[in-house]
Amino acid sequence: MAVRKTKIGLVAGGLGAYWPQFPELLPQLQASARRVSERFSALDCEVVDVGFISDPHEGAAAAERLRLADCDLIVGFLTTYMTASMLVPVAQRSGAPVLLLNLQPTEAMDHASFDTGAWLAYCGACPLPEMANAFERCGIAFRSVSGYVEDERAWTRIERWIKAAGVRAAFRHGRHGLLGHLYPGMMDVSTDPTLVSAQLGGHVEILEIDDLRVRVEKVTSSETDARLTEASEIFTLDDSVKPDDLRWACQVSVGLDRLVEDFQLDTLAYYHRGLDGETHERVAAGMILGASLLTARGIPAAGEYELRTSLAMLVMDRLGAGGSFTELQALNFRDNVVEMGHDGPAHLAISSAKPLLRGLGIYHGKRGWGVSVEFDVAHGPVTCLGLGQLRDGSFRLIASEGEVVPGPLLQIGNTTSRVDFGQDPGEWTDAWSASGVAHHWALGTGHRVAELRAVADLLSLDLQVIQ
């Protein structure tokens, strides 16, 4: 799937009173600004560079250009001292989060040879407290990165903000499908769609099982054959897979693709109970293959009507972590690991090996049959991410970092991983459960808490980390 590029608005500046005093200063600062713009473009961003400002009038003009550009993140590059009046309008008018950069030309000055003009090129730190104070008093959220132009530590921190801005944009522009109905009795997973739009932005599209059924019925035999070929290349087929069940899952998969395309969906959460093998039950039972393929393409799909988990999966996917539909399975006190996974859709891109399709005669707690995806998440660092909801309706990000380790796994058509959180599995489970997380979440690769702190900041959400 072609993901929308994060749009970065860039403005650099310095105090114009310096230019006639130090003729070589402005060209040096403009060269640094060009280099910073190049590095942003290399991060696969769309960069709206409004140039270099030298006074409040130019700042106001830049603010208007950036307002019209509708950026996901505004970056103000403090190349030397500049007054807060030059950047406050930019932050106020854009409506986007603002990141201030203090990146001096090199690691340190050459004190023996530097005069005042040379020093001023290293003076971007000077206005940073002024900006912070002015932003606070104007009610503007403040964040900054200090370093030097080629400082990879600084660019690692900058990239976190870029990724976080991409997540925020995915929510602002997102369309989230909610198909079917709540699994009866699951009080923890029910979500008010209006709260999603209110707190995260975007739109929740309410879908019926017939929206999918009609599209599945229109799938041609040749389209199903093509999806069968694709599935055979992507998955290892267990002997338990029945040819008719696999063919039906492929037909449903093509129908799911059309549903996503027709409604322009960025995520999908679904569940339908059905009865006695009628058409709607057959459609719902055949969704796992297609939902997994969608998830691997960057359109997270979650079963059991788990809207908040499909949103958490979207966060992890946009951070490059995958994000697979997950719940607790069992605790292994002998090996000190938590076993977690789920039947249903999985993020194929983070499988430790070629994923398996297993035939199922029964799903636990759900009527149906067909094929299900089975794999272990890639071994190494992982992060669990849930989108919890509190008593007042507010959302909260809940995260915990661990490591997927090898060992015996269930072979029942579920994704299953053994996660070592570096503590007693029972204590971790108690702390995780007490956080307000629902009983599903996203499991993604890599340790992502540092990135999630930036995401929480830009989304104005609390982040609770279970150590």
Average pLDDT over residues 384-409: 96
CA 401 remoteness from chain centre:
16
CA-to-CA distance for 258 and 255, rounded, in angstroms? 5
Contacts of 307 (CB under 8 A, 6+ apart): 176, 178, 189, 191, 193, 196, 204, 269
Average pLDDT over residues 201-226: 98
Cβ atoms of 466 and 449 within 8 Å: the answer is no
Cβ atoms of 183 and 189 within 8 Å: the answer is yes
pLDDT of residue 412: 81
In tens, the pLDDT along 413-422 reads 788 999 999 9
pLDDT of residue 284: 93
Average pLDDT over residues 306-326: 96
In tens, the pLDDT along 244-274 reads 999 999 999 999 999 999 999 999 999 999 8
Crossing angle between the packed helical segments 152-172 and 449-459, to the nearest 10 degrees: 50
pLDDT of residue 275: 87
- Around Cβ 435, how many Cβ atoms within 10 Å? 15
pLDDT of residue 383: 98
Average pLDDT over residues 327-341: 96
In the chain, the domains with their CATH numbers are 7-172 (3.40.50.10940), 175-465 (3.20.14)
pLDDT of residue 2: 77
Parallel, antiparallel, or unpaired: how do β-strands 356-360 and 236-237 relate? parallel
Average pLDDT over residues 185-200: 96
Check the CA dihedral 181-417-164-162 and report its sign: negative
Average pLDDT over residues 288-308: 95
pLDDT of residue 26: 98
* φ, ψ at 69 (rounded to 5°): -75, -15
In the chain, pLDDT over 90 holds for what percent of residues? 90
pLDDT of residue 362: 64
Crossing angle between the packed helical segments 152-172 and 307-318, to the nearest 10 degrees: 150
Q: How confident is the model at residue 22 (pLDDT cuts 50, 70, 90)?
A: very high
CA angle 116, 122, 123 (to 5 degrees): 80
